[in-house]
Amino acid sequence: MGRPDARAPRRAAVAADDRGFTTMFPEAERLRPEIAQSWRRSSLSGLRPDAPADRFTVLDVDLRSRLLVAATPVLDAMAEELAGTGFFVALVDQESRVAALRFGEPSVRATMEGLGAAVGRSFREETTGTNSIATAFELRQGIAVRGREHYLEAFKRLSCYGHPLIDPASRRMIGVLDITCQTKDDSPLLAPFLLRAVRDIERRLLNGAREAERRMLAAFQAAALHKPHPVLMLGNGIVLANPAAIETLDGADHALLFGLAADGPSGRPATRELALSSGRTARVAWSRDGDSGGTLFELSFPDDGGEHVPRSAPRRDRSDRELERHRERRLPVLVRGEPGSGRSTALRSLAGPAAPAVLDAADIDRRGERAWLADLERLAGEHDGLVAIEAVELLPEPVAAKAARLLRTARAWFALTASSAAELGGERAALAAHCIARVDLPPLRARRDELPELARVILARHTGGRLRLTPTALEVLAGHSWPGNLRELEEVLRDVAARRSTGDVTVRDLPPAYQGSRRSRRLTPLEQAEHDAIVAALRAGEGNKAHAARQLGISRTTLYNRIRALGVAL
């Protein structure tokens, strides 16, 4: 007999879902493929076709954004052309929130506001189903949705056409422009009319970017004139730096500064201390330049007397110092952390020059308890260095009890590792109690400020310093949740090193799954915990948002809002 196919249950579940979907929506078989797939996504999110369209949350919209500044004259011109008609136009930003609306006549405004057309309302398939805003956003291409093709019953009397807006400077999708009317007023001229407006907005974005670049350069030159300390101006894909900044900072530091620009107050100066990749601590002052939209940074070093530290010297974190102290005293240590967070690396660091002798609890099923315990007993009596037991949460109770007895009389020095999520009870807890020293390794998502430096050091280890991560690539990497922690980051950078030999690593050099957008801001510890709980619930329910909402004890509407607010990747 061949090995059982582990994917068979998943295929069966998908097939059952297909049958359930076509049973619930028999008309889906007559829809265009892209519309039918959108219906499926909407259904899987827990949205019902009879859901009301007027229940939603209004979110804040940046009324001074580059997109809105460029689009407003075009929207006004469209409104003049549509005056007295039953059409309306919606501009949606990069977060799929309505940023501006224009109505052909007052009666259209009343009708569309009754269907949820409001500035700040988010149009996503999980909340509004299939429509030319949400589905264009999902597909990243223009699409028409007519009448019965809408998923929500409330929208079926409408026809609409939406098209993505692409920033000419960054080539990123920054919004969607949509035109909507009653189905009876539908016209094949909708698409070319809207496309002309899209091109006008994109042209104004390009012109605005060029003007912003000129203003940014002028503001930087005025600020950096005769300044001996590092001065930078960071903008939309632009880095301006004086000689001191070029000498002092590298791409990892640029990524940290981009994070400060996104997190900090937009209308007033701010100051904080920042640990650079060189090991120096800088006092960073930054402010947003209102004319250009760039962020100006000035760095000073009040406490190091100007001493230069080579950029290649990695910082030692708190866990390294703890491990060194425990090694000096040969204390039994329990190292806790998520899979991939560096538990094995911590054991090697704890052991010092001599490699640790490692027994993995996961090997017991393969080797048998008797053979595994025999090795443990031999090492406990003979080994002079560190003996480590990996994954103690996997130890059978009798094995954990015998290991605890050996620990009390062992000649060797012991360390244990455990998952931070594991609840150690019974004999496993008694075994762990022998470790009076504890080291908790934070997950990578809690070390976002360190990620640029970690990535740089890991990549250098694989390439000997022949490759350099660009600031944008570092920002993109810092925006991921990294469920696999350092191990996952190591695999990503190993893949990069295998495909490039020298030069700069850009976003396009990363594996496709890691080329996603940067986060607009960093999460607080509380928000990160909420983010992780939502991700875990979605994984447990295989992406079904209704199931996840029930597991979390919140409504689907609340879940949708938190997914968007916390930047949960779906």
Write the pLDDT tens digit of every residue in 214-242. 888 888 888 888 788 899 888 766 788 88
Write the pLDDT tens digit of every residue in 426-442. 898 889 888 888 888 88
- The Cα 109–Cα 512 span in angstroms is 42
Asked if 489 and 469 touch (Cβ cutoff 8 Å), the reply is no
Write the pLDDT tens digit of every residue in 531-567. 778 877 877 776 778 888 888 888 777 787 777 777 6
The reported pLDDT for the residue numbered 411 is 78
- The Cα 549–Cα 560 span in angstroms is 9
The reported pLDDT for the residue numbered 165 is 94
Write the pLDDT tens digit of every residue in 361-387. 989 988 899 999 999 988 888 888 898
Sign for the CA dihedral angle at 509, 513, 515, 518 comes to: negative
What is the separation of C-alpha 209 from the centre of its chain, rounded to a whole number of angstroms?
26
The reported pLDDT for the residue numbered 318 is 60
Write the pLDDT tens digit of every residue in 11-28. 443 344 555 566 677 777
The token duo for 474 is 């570092």
- The Cα 474–Cα 253 span in angstroms is 10
> Residue ranges per domain, the chain?
30-205, 226-300, 318-444, 450-514, 525-566
Work out the end-to-end distance of the chain between its first and last CA atoms, rounded to an integer number of angstroms. Answer: 38
Nearest CA among 284, 198, 296 for reference residue 239? 296
Provide, rounded to the nearest whole percent, the portion of the chain with pLDDT above 90. 22
The superfamily in CATH containing domain 318-444 is: P-loop containing nucleotide triphosphate hydrolases (3.40.50.300)
Who wins on pLDDT, 421 or 451?
451
The CATH code of the domain at 525-566 is: 1.10.10.60
Q: Which fold is adopted by the domain 30-205?
A: Beta-Lactamase (3.30.450)
Provide, rounded to the nearest whole percent, the portion of the chain with pLDDT above 70. 86
Residue 261 burial by CB count (10 A; 0-12/13-18/19+): exposed, middle or buried?
A: buried
Who wins on pLDDT, 78 or 382?
78
DSSP letters along 88-151, please?
EEEEEETTSBEEEEEESSHHHHHHHHHTT--TTBB--HHHH-S-TTHHHHHHTS-EEEEGGG-S
The reported pLDDT for the residue numbered 157 is 93
The reported pLDDT for the residue numbered 309 is 40
Tell me the β-bridge partners of 286. 270, 297
To the nearest 10°, report the CA torsion of 492, 497, 499, 503: 120
The reported pLDDT for the residue numbered 96 is 87
The reported pLDDT for the residue numbered 13 is 39
Asked if 34 and 138 touch (Cβ cutoff 8 Å), the reply is no
Write the pLDDT tens digit of every residue in 142-163. 999 999 999 999 999 999 999 9
**Residues in contact with 364: Cβ distance below 8 Å, sequence separation at least 6, in sequence order:** 372, 394, 395, 396, 399
- The answer, yes or no, to whether residue 307 has pLDDT greater than 50, is no
Q: Which fold is adopted by the domain 450-514?
A: Helicase, Ruva Protein; domain 3 (1.10.8)
- The answer, yes or no, to whether residue 395 has pLDDT greater than 70, is yes
The reported pLDDT for the residue numbered 453 is 79
Residue-level length of the chain: 570
Average pLDDT, the chain: 81
Asked if 87 and 180 touch (Cβ cutoff 8 Å), the reply is yes
Same fold, 30-205 and 226-300: yes
The reported pLDDT for the residue numbered 234 is 83
**Residues in contact with 403: Cβ distance below 8 Å, sequence separation at least 6, in sequence order:** 373, 376, 389, 395, 431
The reported pLDDT for the residue numbered 316 is 44
The reported pLDDT for the residue numbered 237 is 66
Write the pLDDT tens digit of every residue in 464-519. 778 888 877 887 787 777 888 888 898 999 898 888 877 788 888 888 878 765 55
- The Cα 394–Cα 427 span in angstroms is 11
The token duo for 282 is 């800088």
The reported pLDDT for the residue numbered 458 is 86
- The answer, yes or no, to whether residue 5 has pLDDT greater than 60, is no
Write the pLDDT tens digit of every residue in 17-65. 555 566 677 777 788 999 999 998 888 888 889 988 877 777 778 777 8
- The answer, yes or no, to whether residue 91 has pLDDT greater than 50, is yes
- The answer, yes or no, to whether residue 311 has pLDDT greater than 50, is no
What band does 446 get if pLDDT is binned at 50, 70 and 90?
confident
Asked if 133 and 96 touch (Cβ cutoff 8 Å), the reply is yes
pTM over 0.85: no
User: Helix, strand or coil for residue 165?
Assistant: strand
Asked if 557 and 550 touch (Cβ cutoff 8 Å), the reply is no
The CATH code of the domain at 226-300 is: 3.30.450.20
- The Cα 570–Cα 40 span in angstroms is 15
**Residues in contact with 87: Cβ distance below 8 Å, sequence separation at least 6, in sequence order:** 104, 108, 179, 180, 181, 185
User: Helix, strand or coil for residue 297?
Assistant: strand
Backbone dihedral angles phi then psi of residue 105, each to the nearest 5 degrees: -155, 160
Tell me the β-bridge partners of 163. 177
